[in-house]
Amino acid sequence: MSELITAIVALILVAFAALMAAGDAAITVKSRSDLLELAENSRSARSLRAIAADPGAHLNALAFIRIMAESTAAVLITLEISSQLDNFWLALAISALVMTIVSFILVGASPRTVGRLHADGLLKVAAPLLHAVRVLLGPLANALVHLGNRVTPGTTRSVSFNNEEQLLSMVDEATELDVLEEDDRELIHSIFEFNETIAREIMVPRTDMITIDADATADAAMSLFLSTGVSRIPVIDGSADAIVGVLYLRDIARIAHEGDAAAREREVRETARAAVFVPDSAKADDLLRRMQLESNHLALVVDEYGGIAGLVTMEDIIEELVGDISDEYDSDSNEVEELTPGNFRVSARLPVDELGELFDIELDDEDVDTVGGLIAKSLGRLPEAGARTIVGGLELTAERTDGRRGRVTTVLVTRALIAETSIPTLPDAPGDN
């Protein structure tokens, strides 16, 4: 009779340990907000709110009681088997084998799977018991965890990730398991990369800046605003390095609305507002914070030599986080266009690292940031339409050029069939056969 009671008690302890393991898994997969939302329509609301308030302490208590139940069950099974066998070591070996199988299947794998898949239902039913375990054994479990941390200095309690790479790896894994959408994954990655982004990487380069001469009239400025669709234009005095200020569309629109002929003929230098200058090494997050504090939407980017390298707007910064923001005035031209499988037309302003990602290769260059700069560096001169070179296993061909400045605007890219570093090819000169 005593053997039967011992076996029943051992089975009860194993079942209890399995319930604790399932509860542990259920709490682990639920965030605090999930637990609070679950508590809104549950009879176990008080217990669920208590678990949400301090999930770490509850997990410690559940782990402690589960290990204690498993250990006690192992002792009882060992006593039961040893009473049936004369050889103690054989009884010990059989007990260890039995408890290993029971612990892995009935306490380890199966209950945790159930807890993860049916977390809501399990927590609604078992939350009072799980919280009771925390109340009864939580202080003791926490004390043992604290003792463990003292024995192994340098460790901290409830640390899920040691570094940024581990967190991003977990995000990628969650996306592969369809827990997160691809858009969510890209947004999370953008947030972490945003901290390392500098103004030079997101600015509109100097060659693409729309500017207006300081001696231009308000009427001329209005025409430029209407033709370009921008709302702010840097005012220059002879060259882009001599910035007088920034002209706002609202100021010119007010002058046009008032109908003052003298004001409409006034030079825009008198209407321009003070410009904000930032170094090209300024961090994007710091720049965004500064723009918010100063209620400013445009800053001129200055290079290390004091010249104007370009300009950056608040929209440019926000697009680094959420992707391109288009309105009715933006053109539909894409930076990357797939012509045929493996053959692309890309903007000369496409970042070099994005070109590498397009072909799944490492393509970094400390000297240049864009594809246009990469092809110019490889050729050793400004590329003309038709110029061809090979960089990093990619064949780059300058395609279109700006008629006004003669600079390349688009580049054709494909994988190179030969391993030469550079094959500059120029268009035929007039009169060549």
Q: What is the pLDDT of residue 152?
A: 59
Given CATH 3.90.1150.10, say whether it is the number of domain 201-322.
Answer: no
Q: On the CB side of 53, how many CA atoms lie within 13 Å of its CA?
A: 8
Note the residue count of the chain.
433
> Do the Cβ atoms of 286 and 200 come closer than 8 Å?
no
Q: What is the pLDDT of residue 207?
A: 79
CA distances in angstroms from 87 to 90, 92, 93, 94, 101, listed in the order given? 5, 9, 10, 11, 22
How many angstroms separate the CA atoms of 34 and 40, rounded?
Answer: 10
Q: What is the pLDDT of residue 212?
A: 94
How many angstroms separate the CA atoms of 395 and 429, rounded?
Answer: 23
Q: What is the pLDDT of residue 421?
A: 46
Q: What is the SS3 assignment for the chain? A: CHHHHHHHHHHHHHHHHHHHHHHHHHHHHCCHHHHHHHHCCCCCHHHHHHHHHCHHHHHHHHHHHHHHHHHHHHHHHHHHHHHHCCCHHHHHHHHHHHHHHHHHHHHHHHHHHHHHHCHHHHHHHHHHHHHHHHHHHHHHHHHHHHHHHHHCCCCCCCCCCCCHHHHHHHHHHHHHCCCCCHHHHHHHHHHHHHCCCEHHHHCEEHHHCCCEECCCEHHHHHHHHHHHCCCEEEEECCCCCCEEEEEEHHHHHHHHHHCCHHHHCCEHHHCCECCCEEECCCEHHHHHHHHHHHCCCEEEEECCCCCEEEEEEHHHHHHHHHCCCCCCCCCCCCCEEEEECCEEEEECCCEHHHHHHHCCCCCCCCCCCEHHHHHHHHHCCCCCCCCEEEECCEEEEEEEECCCCCCEEEEEEEECCCCCCCCCCCCCCCCCC
Q: What is the pLDDT of residue 217?
A: 93
CB count within 10 Å of CB 372 equals: 26
Angle between helices 119-151 and 32-39 (to 10 degrees): 140
In angstroms, how far is CA 140 from the centroid of its own chain? 40
**403 contact partners, CB below 8 Å, separation of at least 6:** none
Q: Is the dihedral of CA 312, 313, 314, 317 positive or negative?
A: negative
Q: Edge-to-edge strands of the sheet including 336-340?
A: 336-340, 343-347, 408-415, 394-401, 388-391
Q: What is the pLDDT of residue 329?
A: 54
Residues of the chain with CATH 3.10.580.10: 201-322
Residues of the chain with CATH 3.30.465.10: 336-415
- Segments of the chain scoring below 70 in pLDDT: 1, 108, 138, 141-142, 144-145, 148-164, 166, 325-334, 401-406, 418-433
Q: What is the pLDDT of residue 385?
A: 82
Q: What is the pLDDT of residue 145?
A: 64
**What's 336-415's CATH class?**
alpha beta
- Taking only the tens place, the pLDDT of each residue in 106-126 is 776 788 888 888 888 888 888
